[in-house]
Amino acid sequence: MTRPPTTLHQDATHESALGHVTGHARYVDDLPHPPGLLHGVIVRSPVARGTLLGVDVEDAVRLPGVVRVLTASDVPGDNHVGPIVHDEPVLADGELWWNGQPVALVLGTTREAARRGAEAVSVRHEPLTPVLTMEEAERRDQWLITPHVIRRGDVDAALASAHLVIQGEVHTPGQDHFYLETHASLAVPGEAGTMDLASSTQHPTEIQRMVAHVLGIPDAAVTCRVPRMGGGFGGKESQATTPACLAALGAWLTQRPVKVWLERGEDMRITGKRHPFRGRYRAGFDAEGRLLGFDAEVVADGGATVDLTGPIVDRALFHLDNAYVLPACRLVGKAVRTNLPSNTAFRGFGGPQGVAVIEDAMERAAFQLGLDPVEIRRRNYYADTAGRDITPYGQQVRDVRIERMTETLLATSDLAAWRAEVAAFNATSAHTKRGIGFVPVKFGISFTNSLLNQAGALLLVYADGSVQLNHGGTEMGQGLHTKMIAVCAEVLGVRPSDVRVMATSTEKVPNTSATAASSGSDLNGQAVREACEAVKARMVPVACELLGAERVRFAGGRCVDADRPDHAVAFSKVASDCWVRQISLSSTGFYRTPGIAYDRPGGQGTPFFYYAYGAALAEVEVSAWTGEYRIRRADLLHDVGDSLVPSIDRGQVEGAFVQGVGWLTTEDVLYGPDGACVTRGPSTYKIPAVGDVPADLRVNLERSPQAGTIGGSKAVGEPPFLLGFSVVHALRAAVAAFGTREPELALPATPEAVLFAIDRQRA
């Protein structure tokens, strides 16, 4: 029944689908408990800011089942971790920085015992006044990173000459990752001062490095394995480190296995979210709606520590142009430190927050100039023509697809007829109105820290012809393993069912980058191909000899004489003959993305290997009684290149779109006056449910090959997230239909925000 990938560029089901639906797929918390397992429960800071005076553990250790309570002084190595700057204490030391910060770890023989122990630990502290808003942090000059500035031309002159200058301020909200599987790590002490971990992480190498750092041992003494994740979305890129380090610390000190698994409420209180951003801009347009100048500053709320805030602000800056040429611009990115959980990577990684700013300008300009919102955008698109193909940071944009894709979307959606239907409805409906919104997307692909664009693979062919494939990427549901099987099966010409992808492990592929930045299949796919080609090259002479052939093809589980297609020998026979002839059947593969580099101080360079494009139209219906709304229809067209596995990419496009809609509509991260996250479960934090999906969802893929990538494919994880803006633009259009003035709609556009916007419109 399962359709594994047959060959590249064909539909396939997820390689683990049967395991998912039968419950046999194992996640970290499902692994069998090793003998002597202890459970670790985190004691959290009760205040957002304070001085830590001491941790009283006596009451806890007296409780039955409590084995030990760990605090910062128990750390043998360096207590400070972090993906870029080591500024985050594993356990609080001296100061308390956010409400929910780990202060101690209670180890118990059962989770219940450890939890009761944690309740009995007293965190002695002196509270200080926390900084909970971006504005207050700015007043206090609490800057988290060096500002990033990108300039082109004379923006002030451009604005002075403009027919229309729009001044705006855009607040984009935070977002909880709400992966269905919360953070989990299992640490098992090994022989002779070693530590083995299983972790739900997008970045096993970082876990390995940080655990070694905290324990004060070499990286080689630590292994980290990732069976699979129940969702990541960026939330397990840097922030799996704390639970993993805590589990490892407990295991190191007790020499017993330790599991740290977070309940949903703990996960949401301890971990950071998508960065809220505030963007302020001045945008100058000519009378035809062409952008002349764009002066924008974005400020991110980084929370308590640096984490990945720097590159997130960078990516926001790189996406302030979205798909539009900015003839003159000044783009500034900053971040502040607040006493909130440290915000972190989340699908889009600052890109959506940047795009939000210029899309606000486009929406307002279209309204104020009386232009069609689609048309004004098209007038500003990048194009493969001189003068329209250079980004503000100096990168040449090649193979620009956005105009072509917009034309396709307008045709397949029959936008003119669609708009007529909406107008007819609105003409006769007083209390509910409909609106159509449009958004184009251009998204840069590559880690903007260029050195991270490297990947490795390790292929093992056994003498019976079966194959184990290892690569540095992690599987979090995005179908990376399915694609890697397709690449491997294509090169070796074997059945996909003969290829087994192994759990990602630092003992198979070293020094990996996070599975992030949509880069998983781009980078690992090339490394897998190279490993497969290397082994295949050694098998070819043996196959030629067995067949008496000059040239052979590997296909269908056989090696075929290229000149006499009826002459063939089984792949397994060639493999066993290689073994007999003492020929290696294993190889690594390695890839680094060529030709990219960025000079951050100078604000110039080529940070991206290429761009992925998308375009979306959405229709909503809103109620003026309650502000409630429904998404009636959405038409998505997304650029996936010559997709490795189109069915997987469709799943990414649809899922990312819905997640983007959730960010902009019903999801609202809220903190109390004490800095504690109050939306800490699905009862209070509302990700989209089945009824929030468009009733009529039409998804198309743009599949022209991309030059220089694995199989001509394009990265797909993040870019379609931004298609969710079409729904916000549709809501604005529907709100606008209640009156004549320019709509003002706050984000997230909850029913409350929509009702208030309608009431302003009707006032």
Chain positions 41 to 80 lying near other proteins, rule: CB under 8 A, are none
**Residue 251 Cβ vs other proteins, minimum distance, rounded to whole Å:** 21
Residue 185 sits in the site that holds other proteins (CB under 8 A): no
Omega before residue 189 within 30° of 0, cis: no
Q: Is the dihedral of CA 133, 126, 85, 503 positive or negative?
A: negative
CB of 569 to other proteins, least distance (A): 31
129 binds other proteins (CB under 8 A): no
Binding to other proteins in span 415-444, by CB under 8 A:
429-432
Enumerate residues 24-43 that contact other proteins by CB under 8 A: 24-27, 29-30, 32
Secondary structure letter of residue 695 according to DSSP = S
Nearer to other proteins, 527 or 753 (CB): 753
Out of 221, 562, 687, 746, point to the residue binding other proteins (CB under 8 A): 687
Q: Does residue 34 contact residue 257 with C-beta atoms inside 8 Å?
A: yes
Which range of residues in 11-19, 575-583, 590-598, 735-743 is near other proteins by CB under 8 A?
A: 11-19
712 binding other proteins? (CB under 8 A): no
Pick one of 468, 700, 739, 746: the residue that binds other proteins (CB under 8 A). Answer: 700
Nearer to other proteins, 204 or 688 (CB): 688
- CA dist list (Å): 599 to 329, 516, 606: 18, 21, 9
Assess 755 for contact with other proteins (CB under 8 A).
yes
Query: Please, what is the Cα angle at 58 between 52 and 59, to 5 degrees?
Result: 105
670 binds other proteins (CB under 8 A): yes
Give the containing element (helix H, strand E) for 114: helix 111-120
Q: According to the binding rule CB under 8 A, does residue 718 interact with other proteins? A: no
**In this structure, are strands 499-501 and 504-505 parallel, antiparallel, or unpaired?**
unpaired
Binders of other proteins in range 327-386 (CB under 8 A): none
Q: In this structure, how many other beta carbons lie within 10 angstroms of the beta carbon of residue 401? A: 25
Q: Is 637 exposed, middle or buried (0-12, 13-18, 19+ CB in 10 A)?
A: buried
Identity of the residue, 583 or 701, whose beta carbon is nearer to other proteins in the bound complex: 701
Separation between Cα atoms, residue 143 and residue 709, nearest integer Å: 38
d(CA 426, CA 429): 5
Residues 221-240 that bind other proteins (CB under 8 A): 228-233
Segment interacting with other proteins (CB under 8 A) among 307-315, 327-335, 373-381, 622-630: 622-630
Supply 417's token pair. Answer: 């007829």
Task: With residue 318 as reference, give the H or E element that holds it.
Answer: helix 309-318
DSSP of 192-227: SS-EEEEE--S-HHHHHHHHHHHHT--GGGEEEEE-
Give least dist CB 650 to other proteins, A.
6
Query: For residues 442 and 719, what is the distance between their CA atoms, to the nearest angstrom?
Result: 8
Site for other proteins in 537-576 (CB under 8 A): none
Count residues near other proteins (CB under 8 A).
Answer: 100
CB of 647 to other proteins, least distance (A): 6
Does 615 engage in binding with other proteins (CB under 8 A)?
no
> How big is the chain by its Cα radius of gyration, in Å?
27
Contacting other proteins (CB under 8 A), which of 180, 287, 463, 707? 180
Among the residue ranges 10-18, 166-174, 247-255, 485-493, the one whose residues contact other proteins (CB under 8 A): 10-18
- State yes or no: residue 171 binds other proteins (CB under 8 A): no
Distance of CA 365 to the CA centre of its chain: 31
Q: Which stretch binds other proteins (CB under 8 A): 42-50, 389-397, 528-536, 642-650?
A: 642-650
Residue type for position 535: V
Written as six digits, the tokens of 717 are 């994880």
Stretch that binds other proteins, among 15-23, 243-251, 511-519, 545-553 (CB under 8 A): 15-23
The answer to whether 289 contacts other proteins (rule: CB under 8 A) is: no
Cα-based angle 98, 100, 102 (whole degrees, multiple of 5): 95
Cβ neighbour number for residue 696 with a 10 Å cutoff: 11
The nearest distance, CB 21 to other proteins, in angstroms, is 4
- With CB under 8 A as the contact rule, which of the stretches 23-31, 59-67, 444-452, 507-515 interacts with other proteins? 23-31
Q: How far is the CB of 672 from other proteins (least distance, A)?
A: 9
Contacts of other proteins in 449-508 (CB under 8 A): 476-479
d(CA 553, CA 619): 51
- Least Å from the CB of residue 385 to other proteins: 24
* 3-state class (DSSP) for residue 280: strand
Q: Find tokens 């060639």 and name the residue.
A: 574
**Closest to other proteins by CB, 178 or 367:** 178
Residue among 76, 216, 464, 625 that touches other proteins (CB under 8 A): 625
Choices 95-103, 465-473, 598-606, 674-682 (CB under 8 A): range interacting with other proteins: 674-682
Strands (E), 446-546: 454-461, 467-471, 499-501, 504-505
Q: Which residues 186-205 are close enough to bind other proteins by CB under 8 A?
A: none
- Considering the complex, what minimum distance in angstroms separates the CB of residue 115 from other proteins? 7
When the beta carbons of 205 and 478 are compared against other proteins, the nearer one is 478
**Binding other proteins by CB under 8 A: which of 442, 621, 676, 718?**
621
Q: Pick between residue 369 and residue 502 the one whose CB is nearest to other proteins.
A: 502
The residues annotated with a catalytic role in the active site are: 718
**CB contact at 8 A, 42 and 265:** no
Restricting to residues 84-123, which ones interact with other proteins according to CB under 8 A? 115
By CB under 8 A, which span of 136-144, 242-250, 483-491, 657-665 interacts with other proteins? 657-665
Q: Which of 396, 412, 511, 584 binds other proteins (CB under 8 A)?
A: 412
Q: How far is CA 329 from CA 165, 286, 290, 292, in A?
A: 13, 15, 14, 9
Q: What is the closest distance, in whole angstroms, from the C-beta atom of residue 128 to other proteins in the complex?
A: 25
* Cα 383 from Cα 443, distance rounded (Å): 15
Taking each helix axis from N to C end, the angle separating 415-428 and 402-413, rounded to the nearest 10 degrees, works out to 60
Among 171, 538, 686, 760, binds other proteins (CB under 8 A): 686
CB of 286 to other proteins, least distance (A): 33
Containing H/E element for 616?
strand 610-623
Q: Determine how β-strand 222-226 pairs with β-strand 258-261.
A: unpaired
Minimum separation from the CB atom of position 711 to other proteins (A): 17
Q: How far apart are CA 595 and CA 609, in angstroms?
A: 7
- Is residue 642 close enough to count as binding other proteins by CB under 8 A? no
Phi/psi at 392 (nearest 5 deg)? Answer: -55, -30
CB of 665: closest distance to other proteins in angstroms?
9
Please give the span between the terminal C-alpha atoms of the chain, in angstroms, as a whole number.
Answer: 59
